[in-house]
Structure formats: structure tokens, C-alpha cells
Amino acid sequence: MKYKEVYGQWQADPEAFWMRTAEAIDWIEPPTKALFADDPANCHWFADARVNGCWNAVDRHVEAGFGDQAAIVHASPITESEKTITFRELRDQVALFAGALSRRGLKKGDRAIIYMPMIPEALVAMLACARIGAIHSVVFGGFASHELAARINDASPKCIIAASCGIEPGRIVEYKPLADEAIDLAARKPDFCVVLQRQQAIAELVEGRDEDWEEFQKGAEPSSCVPVEGSHPAYILYTSGTTGQPKGVVRSTAGHLVALHWTMKNIYDVEPGEVFWAASDVGWVVGHSYICYAPLLHRNTTVVFEGKPVGTPDAAAFWRVIEKHGVRALFTAPTAFRAIKREDPAGSLIEDFDLSSLKTLFLAGERADPDTISWAESHLRVPVIDHWWQTETGWSIAANPVGIEKLPVKPGSPSLPMPGYDIRVLDDEGAECRRGELGAIVVRLPLPPGNFPTLWNSEDRFRKSYLERFPGYYETGDAGYVDEDGYLFVMSRTDDVINIAGHRLSTGAMEEVIANHQDVAECAVVGVEDDLKGQIPLAFICLNSGCEKEHSAISAECVRLVRQTIGPVAAFKLAAVVERLPKTRSGKILRGVMARIADGRSYKIPATIDDPAILSEIEVALNSLGYPKTN
Ligand code: COA
Ligand code: AMP
């Protein structure tokens, strides 16, 4: 069947399409229908079913005779180690850990925060939660304690599962002290913590609250899989919005199982038993969907990679893993390929490896620039497929579904909508744009299975952020256009979110941190173009009158503050002190204009600007930081 037929089948009868797709899942009680919706904005998929996510990802493969197949390969060039875990071993580890969590009182509906690096135990912890119906919330290790505390306050977890440390090139990041600090900062305290001690840094445990991972499990009864309703939240994943308060994206169980399973063959073109590798982190949605759940649901071996595309130890790290493990499909962010291309522009390291197992490279997380696509295509000699999605959606909104039919690739475009998504581009008044005309990208409601039904604790914010501006549609927050052939081009965000090395961060959150500095009167953070990371943040800072401190000292303090508060992942290093910020007469800061000046792009001076002379001051400040870049 061709893409058009599959998409057409969904359009003709969405209910039948999703019920048929749902047959791939083992139900404890099957759903009687797919969509449960009192209005299109409030919909739940397979809500009356009963199911268990862990059973579908792990146990059923053991029962079906695939217990000896590798479920997880932990490839860790940063620790120079490697380990394989079979489905049977994974089931036993997950069941025991789940049993220990239950014994300590974690039960269906309770939240557990997981703060771990790229180690198999992170997946064990996620799956153990799924096994007992606990709701996990994984927090990326590059976030600092303040961010972790914000998530603890919002999710009010009964427990925190952490590793003692993560390992970054040249340094050990001690996670446990960060977790301790976050617990101190948080208004709500977890009942208990489980700490996996890694030999690179042994953490101190707090008596009565902290449990050692190994000791904690001794004598526990392995837990069976607890049935949950189809609409039961499988997890909460916090993502950046326009303010410092992260948004808790909720993922319901059944829709996520059905949709993710469908994507493995239809989008990623892998068969059960093959090796699939998403080189991301479990702290991001890519990690949830494509390191943990989807490959395991589909009985693929998943690679948990603890390293970097370059420097661990070199720009051949990816090729080594692909050759050794026979990876069939690789999924990463374009920034990883830009990093490799920078180190090995001729791609000569690639020639030393047998990459014949690799059939496709998938890119997402940020706009895939045509240069990176063509470099990867010419050196890997496989199709390079861009696809577009978000934490909120959990899987691709637009893709090139190579498992159905490889559509012609248009560099710069993630191709066409996937079944379930009716994509439109709207202008400011909500009217549909013409082909080729830039506008807000929206999806007609209801969103398909696997998408978020709400934000944790924040139904109001959910409606305000996503549903109010264009009634009847989900507002993606991305801007772009659809060309004559129906191909989508995603160009930029319409809000204060920026994309740093495929990581989504809020400039608003950084502004909140900088504004807390005692000498800062006001500030604005914008995303500027960066050859490696796509975008990086740059701050313009105005000081309180009478402040005599050196400007460079204040900039450095703000950089430190953001690193300590949000975390190193914000990659915030550029700050300029300015006298004033350019604003409209109504007081709106002209961030877009400042970003264009920094990027050396042409800009129009808005008619509403209060004082155009300020723009020259901004130019001078940018020049002092080396912006706009001349090459
Ligand atoms: N725990 C603690 N710190 C972390 C971390 C983690 N899990 N992950 C990153 N950091 C730190 C890094 O050490 C770095 O700190 P530094 O400022 O002291 O150097 C900072 O956060 C920024 O990290 P990163 O974005 O990884 O930048 P980098 O300069 O170290 O590496 C790339 C650049 C392109 C190699 C890297 O971003 C990369 O591999 N990206 C792959 C894309 C990806 O995984 N995207 C996810 C969505 S698909
Ligand atoms: P996240 O929620 O962290 O996955 O980030 C989602 C955002 O990343 C999207 O809203 C886009 O702005 C951007 N993004 C992800 N994939 C792509 C892509 N293929 N092309 C362009 N932008 C992308």
C-alpha cells in the first residue's frame, strides 16, 4: 500500500483505522472504540481498555519465545564499557525493581521522578513504573537543581530514582547532590529516594530517606503487571514553554502504545528483531518514545548510547556502534551530524567501518538544514529522512514514512502529514494561507492517539497555550508553509522557545533567572544562529541606576546564575550590558529585531518603536560580542 492510500484510509474512517492499528497491542480488556471525546479538545483514546505498557514492551516478547533476544545494548564509549540485556533479563530486572517500589509504597497513580544518565537502569526504572501503573517523570541530567525542584513541586512525586552521577567529557556530574539540593528547595518532599551508585562517584545517602539501588531490591517479590485504564497517564514529561514554569506534558497509556508501535514499521521501516538506535537522551521525548518504549514494544533491540558524537573518543563514535551492533536505523538530531562534519569534514573516518546494516538515517529535534542532509547522504549513502514532532505529540506529525513508501525527499522539509494529523497553515486572522505562504502551523482537532490530552495540574494552561488562539485546532507553536506538492516546511517558532542542539529551552525562563540578579533592572534573551547548535541564547542586560560594577563581571555572574539555576544544557554564555532595550511605545521588547541584528539579517524598524536610536546601541553591544558573525 502507498502513503496516499494509508493516509486516505485514516481520513475516510479514523475510528476504523485506529481500531485496526490497536490490534498490535496485547489488551487485558480490549477497547470497545477508539475515540472517546465529549468535545474535540477533550479526547481520550481507547479509554475503556485495560492494558499494561510494560507487558507490551517486555513480558509478551519473553512469553512469545524471544527471551534471549537482546532488548538493550548499552554502548558507553564514555566509560569504555558495553553491556547487553536480553528481554528475559530485562523482564526479571524490571519485575524485581517494580516489586521493591511497591513494597516501599509506590502504587498506581503515584508519581516517581527519574534523574539518571544514559544507563539501562533508567529504562528499568521507567518500565518498572509502567509495570505498577506509577507515573514516571524523567528529568534530563543537564538540568540543575532549581529545574528539578520545579518539577518536584509540580509532580509531587512519592519517590525520586537517581544515579549517583553522569559522565560528561572531562568531568563527572554528581547528580545526587543536585537531587538533594532540589529536594531542599522543593516545597513538597518525596517519601523516599533510590540511588544507583556508580563507581565514578559514590553518593552520600540520607538515612531513612535514601535507599541504595541494590539493597533496596534485596528480598523483594517480583511484581506482576498491573492493569491500567487506557487513559491512565503513563508519564509526565516537562518541556519548556514561554515562562520559567515548565509544562508537564501528560502521555496517556493506550494511545501511546498503539501509535508508537505503528511508527516502527511504517515510519522507521524496521522489522521486529532488528537493531534500532535513537542517539538522544531518556530525558527528552525522543528518548521516551524511541529509546525506551517504541523499539521495545515492537521487539527491536534498542541502543542506549552514553557518549557524544564527537570526543568519545572521536568523530567515529557513531560508526563504531553501527558496525558492531548492526544498527538498521539511526535517529538523531542534525546538530550531532554538524558536530561530526566539523571534526571530519571529508567523512574519511566513515570509510573505516562496515555500515552496510544501516538502511536509513532519521533526523528530528530541530530544522534539518539542507547542507547537513546532503553531507550525511553522500557519506552514509542511505536516505536521510527529516521528520517533525514535539514533546506534546510524542511521535511524528509530518514524516516520510519509508516503511510504507519512500516519498521523494525535499531537503528542508519533513515531508507529509502522518495519519491522524490534518495539518493546516493559518494567518493571524485564522484564515488558511495559500500554498507557499508562511503562517502558524496547526493541527485540526482531535489530535491522534499518543498525543497529550492535557498538561499536568494545568488544564487552563493547556487550553490557553494550545487551543485558544485558533479554535478547533492545536497550535503547534511552529511557523512554516506548505508547498505546491503538499510538503510541509517548518521554519521557526512563533513563541519564546529556542532550540539549542536539538534541546528545547525557554528564553523566558532565562530572563527570569537573570532578572533575579541584584544589579539587573531588566533584560531580554534571544536565540541567535550558531553553526553547531543551531541556536544559542544571548542576553541584553540593563543595570539598575547607580550600579558601578564592571559590566564584564555582571555578565559573567549572569552566565553563572543561569548555569546554576537552569543547568549547563542552556548553553548560555553570551551577555551584553546595554543602556536600554528597544521597545514599542506600548512597552513590548523587540526581541525579534534584536535577534535579526545579531544574525546579520535585514530587518524592518517597526512603526511602533519608541526610540529607533536604541537599535544602534544594540548593534554596538553585539559587535563587542563578535556579532553578527562575518563568515
Ligand atoms: N548531564 C549533565 N550535563 C550535561 C548533560 C547531562 N546529561 N548533557 C549535556 N550536559 C552539559 C554538557 O556537559 C555541556 O556542559 P559544558 O557547558 O560544561 O560543556 C552542556 O550541558 C551543553 O551540552 P551539549 O548540548 O551536549 O553540548 P556539547 O557542546 O557538549 O556537545 C553536541 C554538542 C552537538 C555534540 C551535543 O549537543 C550532541 O550530541 N547533541 C546530540 C543531539 C541530541 O541528543 N538531541 C536531543 C534531542 S533529539
Ligand atoms: P521538543 O518538544 O523538545 O521535541 O521540540 C519540539 C520543537 O523542535 C518543535 O516544535 C520544532 O520547533 C522543533 N523541531 C523538531 N523537529 C523538527 C524538524 N524536523 N524540523 C524543524 N523543527 C523541528
Let me know: does 459 contact 514? Beta carbons within 8 Å. no
Residue 135: predicted pLDDT: 99
State in Å: Cα 367 to ligand 2 middle.
7
Q: Which of 118, 54, 114 is nearest to 87 (CA)?
A: 54
Instruction: Specify the ligand 1 atom closest to the Cα of 118.
Output: 7
Any ligand 2 atom below 6 A from CB of 504: yes
Residue 67: predicted pLDDT: 98
Any ligand 1 atom below 6 A from CB of 225: no
Residue-wise pLDDT tens digits, 70-129: 999 999 999 999 999 999 999 999 999 999 999 999 999 999 999 999 999 999 999 999
Task: For residue 585, count CB atoms less than 10 angstroms from its CB and return exposed for 0-12, middle for 13-18, buried for 19 or more.
Answer: exposed
d(CA 553, CA 570): 20
Q: Quick one: which H or E segment has residue 257?
A: helix 253-266
State in Å: Cα 358 to ligand 1 middle.
25
Neighbouring C-beta atoms of residue 549, cutoff 10 Å:
12
* Residue with CA at minimum distance from ligand 1 atom 8: 142
Instruction: Name all contacts of 320-323 with Cβ < 8 Å and 24+ positions apart.
Output: 320/77, 320/353, 321/75, 321/277, 322/277, 322/353, 322/355, 322/357, 322/358, 323/353, 323/354, 323/355, 323/357
d(CA 483, CA 434): 9
State in Å: Cα 371 to ligand 1 middle.
22
What cell numbers appear for 585 in the block?
A: 511605545
Let me know: does 510 contact 566? Beta carbons within 8 Å. yes
**Which of 76, 119, 168 has most ligand 1 atoms within 8 Å of its beta carbon, as the pocket-test mutant?**
168
Task: Provide the β-strand partners of residue 45.
Answer: 35
Within 13 Å of residue 17, how many CA atoms lie on the same side as its CB?
A: 18
Return phi, psi of residue 218, to 5°.
Answer: -60, 130
Any ligand 2 atom below 6 A from CB of 493: yes
Within 13 Å of residue 429, how many CA atoms lie on the same side as its CB?
A: 3
Any ligand 1 atom below 6 A from CB of 278: no
Instruction: Specify the ligand 1 atom closest to the Cα of 166.
Output: 1
* Residue with CA at minimum distance from ligand 2 atom 11: 366
Low-confidence stretches of the chain (pLDDT beneath 70)? 631
Any ligand 1 atom below 6 A from CB of 168: yes
**Which of 281, 335, 388 has most ligand 2 atoms within 8 Å of its beta carbon, as the pocket-test mutant?**
388
Residue 1: predicted pLDDT: 80
The DSSP letter of residue 139 is: -
Any ligand 2 atom below 6 A from CB of 507: no
Which of the ligands is closest to the CA of residue 141? 1
Q: Which of 595, 620, 590, 622 is nearest to 606 (CA)?
A: 590
Q: How far is CA 277 from the centre of its chain?
A: 15
Instruction: Specify the ligand 2 atom closest to the Cα of 477.
Output: 10
R_g over Cα of the chain: 24
Instruction: Specify the ligand 2 atom closest to the Cα of 285.
Output: 4
Q: Which of 281, 372, 369 is nearest to 569 (CA)?
A: 281
Let me know: does 67 contact 87? Beta carbons within 8 Å. yes
Which of the ligands is closest to the CA of residue 309? 1
Q: Which of 363, 405, 403 is nearest to 380 (CA)?
A: 363
Q: Between helices 253-266 and 14-21, what is the axis angle to 10°? A: 80
**Which of 289, 390, 500 has most ligand 2 atoms within 8 Å of its beta carbon, as the pocket-test mutant?**
390
Any ligand 1 atom below 6 A from CB of 501: yes
Q: What's the length of the chain?
A: 631
* Residue with CA at minimum distance from ligand 2 atom 5: 390
State in Å: Cα 498 to ligand 1 middle.
15
d(CA 153, CA 416): 39
pTM: 0.95
d(CA 298, CA 300): 6
State in Å: Cα 164 to ligand 2 middle.
31
Any ligand 2 atom below 6 A from CB of 281: no
State in Å: Cα 104 to ligand 1 middle.
35
Any ligand 1 atom below 6 A from CB of 117: yes
Check the CA dihedral 212-213-217-223 and report its sign.
Answer: positive
Residue 38: predicted pLDDT: 84
Let me know: does 394 contact 260? Beta carbons within 8 Å. yes
d(CA 248, CA 231): 16
Any ligand 1 atom below 6 A from CB of 387: no
Residue 631: predicted pLDDT: 61
State in Å: Cα 596 to ligand 2 middle.
21
- Sequence-distant (6+) residues with CB within 8 A of 294 are 260, 261, 263, 264, 395
The DSSP letter of residue 222 is: P
Any ligand 2 atom below 6 A from CB of 499: yes
Neighbouring C-beta atoms of residue 471, cutoff 10 Å:
9
d(CA 164, CA 118): 13
Neighbouring C-beta atoms of residue 199, cutoff 10 Å:
8
Instruction: Specify the ligand 1 atom closest to the Cα of 280.
Output: 44
* Residue with CA at minimum distance from ligand 2 atom 13: 366
Task: Provide the β-strand partners of residue 610.
Answer: none
Let me know: does 276 contact 270? Beta carbons within 8 Å. yes
Strands, E, within 42-122: which ranges? Answer: 42-45, 50-51, 70-76, 81-86, 111-115
**Which of 331, 466, 478 has most ligand 2 atoms within 8 Å of its beta carbon, as the pocket-test mutant?**
478
Any ligand 1 atom below 6 A from CB of 400: no
Residue 244: predicted pLDDT: 80
